[in-house]
Amino acid sequence: MQSNKSIFIATAEPFSGKSIVALGLVDMLLARTQKIGYFKPIINQEPSVKPDSHIETLIGHFNLPLQIEKTFSYTREQANILAQSGMQNEIIDTIISKFKSLEADNDFTIIEGSDFLGEGTAFEFDANLAIAKNLNTPVIIVTSGDGKSISQICSAVNVTINNFLQRKVKVIAVVINKVDQADLEQVKSALIQQVKPEIQIAVIPKITALKSPSLREVKEHLGAEIMFGEEQMNNRADHFIFGAMQIGNFLNHIKPNVLIVTPGDRSDILLATLQASLSKNYPKIAGIVLTGGFEVPDSVIKLIQGTNTLMPILRVEEPSFYAATKVANIHSKFNPSNPEKIHMAINTFRKYMDMGKLEKNIASFKASGMTPRMFQYQLVSWAKSKKKHIVLPEGNDDRILKAADRLVRHGIVNISLLGDKDDIISSINRLGLSLGQDNCQIINPQDSPFFEDYANTLFELRKGKNMPIGVARDLMTDVAYFGTMMVHKGHADGMVSGAAHTTAHTIRPALQFIKTKPGISLVSSVFFMCLPDRVTIFGDCAININPSAAELAEIAISSADTSAKFGIEPRVAMLSYSSGTSGSGEDVEKVRQATEIVKSKRPDIMVEGPIQYDAAVDPTTGKQKMPDSKVAGNASVLIFPDLNTGNNTYKAVQRETGAIAIGPMLQGMNKPVNDLSRGCTVDDIYNTVVITAIQAEEG
């Protein structure tokens, strides 16, 4: 299992106080390592229009060497448009790609969920769940207790936790912000009773200094002009009052850090406020907002200029009511220009969060399993890193050409297409593809300068089988034989065929002269079954009709090795119609025998058998039927007892669950040759070429 290198901060509501958690986490982690990444998959607006305040604050305050364009994937508008077009998978793929790029450059990466502002909040919550799941990262949930009763807080926390746990996303902590001080202990006590003990709980009270906007935020929110006091723009406004009453009454309403909103023609209120700010009998005043666009008389301006004003004076065109309404709706954010507030947030997080326990929880998390989107991303990344050369013999098939076009455009592999050159080019033009002689090879076998060499090589390899040279030449005009010979001679790294040919037609040449690896007597196959929440390996569902116990054991060993190579921890289930010692019969005994052979030959492989499908994949059933098994309920490699069972099961699972079945991938040959189903889609071809390229890396 991979050690944890990231944490996801998630919420289900706006203004929950994620910033406090983010600042506290970065501060904590910088004590352990210097290279901290910060990633917010979906931001509110393009940074060129309005920088994201969280990202800007973290980079600015902690001096993180991050490029803004690498810290996000989409704006909310972009993500919503793609989601409405049914392109959720493209959103996830892009997020995975950008996150992995950032993660590779850093020791630890903090991921922040979206802000739930404006439209599309239902999509955002689902997106946050999907992102956390696909990035395979533990989650800290942040909720707000503002305006909620104790029971409402507990209900909201439990609903949010359950939503993540149902998607098999690990929650390591819950932070409840903005709780009334009087309710603090009751909230914590109630949640300790209701939440799983392994989930850490932190309850943070309402802290006025963190909630209140600065005068700088007031200025930006109102679009105000600064008349005086620019050096005091970090003053915080804990509350505001209208300055629309007589002076005597007005002065009675002045409280610490109050913001005065008054019409610009009320010079009496303005002067009384200035005098109060200078008096030791009145508390500190945050500032004044002069409304209505009135010009302040020159005589008053002169008076102000002659005093040491201790507060900002702002001016707006809007009348008092609209200005005051806007002020009331300001939600304060952290800003690099206000380090005092940032330090207060960090100290608050330290005070109410058990930091030692949190560090331990983050460090102890081990990423387990792999989602389909992450698996496919990883496959493509591996293939791209080596950029192998794959030959596709069926160059006259539109599906092959479309897949080849995508593979070439994405820079994943180099491609050779076999077939009549004019026909292939005509089809490329008809389909509007970007393929051509400049970015892929298009080969007519009979016109190839290697044709005679290939025919002679086949003749030499098969002369022990009494193959005449004329037959060798005839066979070499067959695209499957020609493509396989390209692989055998090292002119291609692998071959994918079968869109228009039978399995036998595809693999017969490979069995004749590529042959199996040393120590392997059997060619078998696996499918990578990309289920909604995990990737499982099914074998053998395509080649061996009724394997013996020894052959079944060899299939299991090959499949376990394939699983490990592709980043899936192998936990092998040898399937049968009974579990453990509960059943008997020839078929069960074969599986039992095969299991013992695997244990004997490869004691390093976790294997269980015989075991039923439900006991292998469902934790509850597995615990009931085989409570002492390390594989039951958690199998990642499922070995079927015969082709009939395997082929029908993989197709049933694929159709009924919407799973993506990548394969079959053939195991055991010296060089990779893989077979397609004649009903394959463009995606099937694309995925099979990718796994073939990865197999070729062994050579």
Secondary structure letter of residue 466 according to DSSP = T
Determine the topology of domain 2-209+340-366 in CATH: Rossmann fold (3.40.50)
CA-closest candidate to residue 238, choices 224, 255, 250: 255
Cα 189 vs. chain centroid, distance in angstroms? 34
Cα 502 vs. chain centroid, distance in angstroms? 38
- Output the pLDDT for position 449: 94
Q: What residue has token string 């309005």? A: 50
Q: Report the SS3 class of residue 347.
A: helix
Q: Which long-range contacts (CB under 8 A, 24 or more apart) does 652-659 make?
A: 653/529, 653/531, 653/538, 654/529, 657/531, 657/532, 658/532, 659/372, 659/529, 659/530, 659/531, 659/532
Ranked by mean pLDDT, the top range of 146-150, 230-234, 482-486, 539-543 is 482-486
Q: Are 596 and 556 in contact (CB under 8 A)?
A: no
What digits encode the pLDDT tens for the residues 665-676? 999 889 999 988
| Percent of the chain with pLDDT strictly greater than 70 | 96
AA letter at 92: I
- Using a 10 angstrom Cβ sphere, with 0-12 exposed, 13-18 middle and 19 or more buried, the burial of residue 363 is exposed
- Using a 10 angstrom Cβ sphere, with 0-12 exposed, 13-18 middle and 19 or more buried, the burial of residue 662 is buried
Q: Where are the domains of the chain?
A: 2-209+340-366, 215-331, 373-515, 522-668
**Alpha carbon distance 428, 432 (integer Å):** 6
Measured CA to CA in angstroms, residue 217 lies from 31, 206, 228, 332, 528 at distances of 31, 20, 16, 7, 53
How confident is the model over 681-688, as a mean pLDDT?
89
- Output the pLDDT for position 560: 95
Superfamily for 522-668? Isocitrate/Isopropylmalate dehydrogenase-like (3.40.50.10750)
- Output the pLDDT for position 119: 53
AA letter at 278: L
> Is the pLDDT confidence value at 602 over 50?
yes
Is residue 118 very low, low, confident or very high in pLDDT (cuts 50, 70, 90)?
A: low
Q: Tell whether the torsion through CA atoms of 285, 287, 293 and 297 is positive or negative.
A: positive
> Is the pLDDT confidence value at 1 over 50?
no
Q: What is the 3 state secondary structure string of 491-536?
A: CCCEEEECCCCCHHHHHHHHHHHHCECCCCCCCEEEEEEEECCEEE
CATH of 373-515, one of 1.20.950.20, 3.40.1380.20, 3.40.50.2300, 3.40.50.10950: 3.40.50.10950
Output phi, psi for 133, to 5 deg.
Answer: -65, -45
Q: At what angle do helices 215-222 and 320-328 cross, to 10 degrees?
A: 120
How confident is the model over 381-388, as a mean pLDDT?
88
> Is the pLDDT confidence value at 312 over 80?
yes
Q: Are 381 and 100 in contact (CB under 8 A)?
A: yes
> Both ends of the chain: CA-CA distance in Å?
26
CATH of 215-331, one of 2.40.50.140, 3.30.530.20, 3.40.1390.20, 3.40.50.720: 3.40.1390.20
The answer to whether the 2-209+340-366 and 373-515 domains have the same CATH topology is: yes
How confident is the model over 467-474, as a mean pLDDT?
89
> Is the pLDDT confidence value at 429 over 60?
yes
Q: Which tokens go with 604?
A: 């390093």
What digits encode the pLDDT tens for the residues 604-660? 999 998 999 999 999 999 999 998 899 999 999 999 999 999 999 998 998 888 788
